[in-house]
């Protein structure tokens, strides 16, 4: 039986999620990759044990994470049942619904029918009575926002979720959703969006500014740009790259020679700071306090431990931030 490290809370930093009472670890574990039915169970357990032993209390999922869709929730559910029963109240478990999950008109997007049915299915796969955060996974322009937000509100008030979240929303839509949820007295506390040195969409579409203004947290995924902002691509494209093995998640434009040239110069800057590129990239996401937590993926426990070094990273100087902008935006 797994026994968590007694020192698990000694080094981790926890940030308050906007103006709420919820705190999240600076680094959270995302189960987007490496937790589907193609993954080895012992390796999945090792990732969860390493994360929790080092203060990562937050495990993030979605209904469609796999492969196959639903398998990441199912596999985590087994790990929770066999190893984490006594630690449930120390964990934040989140899931989402919004992408294609089952056949027919009710297995996708943002209808009340889909969201509440999906949450019931997720809880069954996870073996839980509730999740801590339930997200709508993407904006749906064809469903009234009031209906989608009403479904999140019901999820919370039914006791099947403690907090509501929005994922992949832009600033204006998040602001409208916030007004609806505030009127319903629903504890909407967090936004989940892609954000890294190269992808600054949340700055461009107003999400980052509006989240801070509304007192909502932000948790970001792909902080390392699917591995591009690490040392893996400094000497070209490795044979086991996601670009080679699975073209769904890493595309040609993301690893063009121009992009890799910029990555190499960013790496030189990281070395001048006495750290590796991944650590600098994670620190950049957290640099101004607007982001509550960064979601990392991992295939090996060592990757989790390496990413936790971001807590020891020194703050950026204004000159360094300008250099990064010039390398990426110039």
* pLDDT at site 1: 86
Task: Measure the CA dihedral 165/126/130/91, to 10°.
Answer: -80
Mean pLDDT of the region 222-247: 74
Separation between Cα atoms, residue 228 and residue 222, nearest integer Å: 10
* pLDDT at site 135: 99
Q: How far apart are the first and last CA of the chain?
A: 53
8 Å CB contact between 229 and 277: yes
Task: List domains and CATH numbers for the chain.
Answer: 14-225+289-314 (3.20.20.100)
pLDDT-wise least confident of 132-136, 143-147, 202-206, 223-227: 223-227
- Specify the pairing of strand 14-16 against strand 23-25: antiparallel
Name the residue among 137, 74, 132 with its Cα closest to residue 108. 137
* pLDDT at site 67: 96
Q: Which residues contact 284 (CB under 8 A, 6 or more apart)?
A: 196, 197, 316, 324
8 Å CB contact between 205 and 266: no
Confidence class for position 256, pLDDT limits 50, 70, 90: confident
Confidence class for position 243, pLDDT limits 50, 70, 90: very low
Confidence class for position 330, pLDDT limits 50, 70, 90: confident
8 Å CB contact between 170 and 205: yes
8 Å CB contact between 134 and 96: yes
8 Å CB contact between 88 and 136: no
Q: Is the pLDDT at 244 greater than 50, yes or no?
A: no
pLDDT tens per residue, range 47-59: 999 999 999 999 9
Confidence class for position 241, pLDDT limits 50, 70, 90: low
Long-range contacts of 37-42 (CB under 8 A, 24+ apart): 37/66, 37/67, 37/68, 37/71, 37/75, 38/67, 39/75, 41/75, 41/78
The whole model's pTM is what?
0.94
State both tokens at 49.
Answer: 């044990």
Q: Is the pLDDT at 251 greater than 70, yes or no?
A: no
CA-based R_g, the chain, Å: 19
pLDDT tens per residue, range 304-326: 999 999 999 999 999 999 999 99
Neighbour tally for 82: CB within 10 Å:
12
């Amino acid at each position: 039986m797994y026994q968590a490290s007694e020192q698990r809370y000694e080094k981790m930093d926890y940030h308050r999620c906007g103006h709420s009472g919820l705190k999240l670890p600076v680094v959270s574990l995302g189960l987007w990759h490496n937790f589907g039915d193609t993954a080895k169970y012992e390796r999945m357990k090792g990732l969860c044990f390493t994360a929790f032993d080092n203060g990562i209390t937050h495990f993030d999922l979605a209904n469609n994470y796999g492969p196959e869709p639903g398998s990441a929730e199912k596999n985590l559910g087994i790990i929770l049942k066999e190893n984490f029963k006594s630690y449930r109240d120390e964990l934040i478990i989140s899931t989402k619904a919004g992408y294609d999950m089952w056949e027919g008109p009710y297995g996708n997007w943002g209808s009340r029918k889909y969201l509440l049915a999906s949450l019931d299915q997720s809880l069954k796969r996870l073996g839980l009575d509730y999740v801590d955060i339930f997200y709508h996974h993407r904006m749906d322009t064809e469903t009234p926002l009031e209906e989608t937000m009403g479904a999140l509100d019901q999820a919370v008030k039914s006791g099947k979720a403690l907090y509501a979240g929005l994922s992949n929303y832009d600033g204006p839509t998040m602001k409208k959703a916030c007004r609806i949820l505030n009127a319903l007295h629903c504890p909407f506390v967090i936004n989940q969006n892609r954000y890294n040195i190269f992808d600054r969409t949340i700055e461009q579409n107003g999400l980052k500014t509006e989240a801070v203004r509304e007192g909502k947290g932000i948790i970001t995924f792909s902080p390392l740009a699917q591995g591009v902002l690490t040392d893996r691509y400094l000497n070209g494209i490795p044979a086991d790259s996601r670009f080679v093995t699975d073209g769904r998640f890493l595309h040609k434009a993301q690893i063009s020679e121009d992009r890799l040239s910029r990555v190499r110069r960013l790496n030189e800057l990281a070395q001048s700071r006495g750290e590796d590129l991944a650590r600098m990239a994670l620190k950049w996401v957290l640099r101004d306090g607007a982001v509550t937590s960064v979601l990392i993926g991992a295939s090996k426990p060592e990757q989790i431990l390496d990413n936790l070094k971001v807590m020891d990273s020194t703050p950026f100087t204004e000159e360094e931030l300008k250099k990064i902008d010039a390398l990426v935006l110039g």
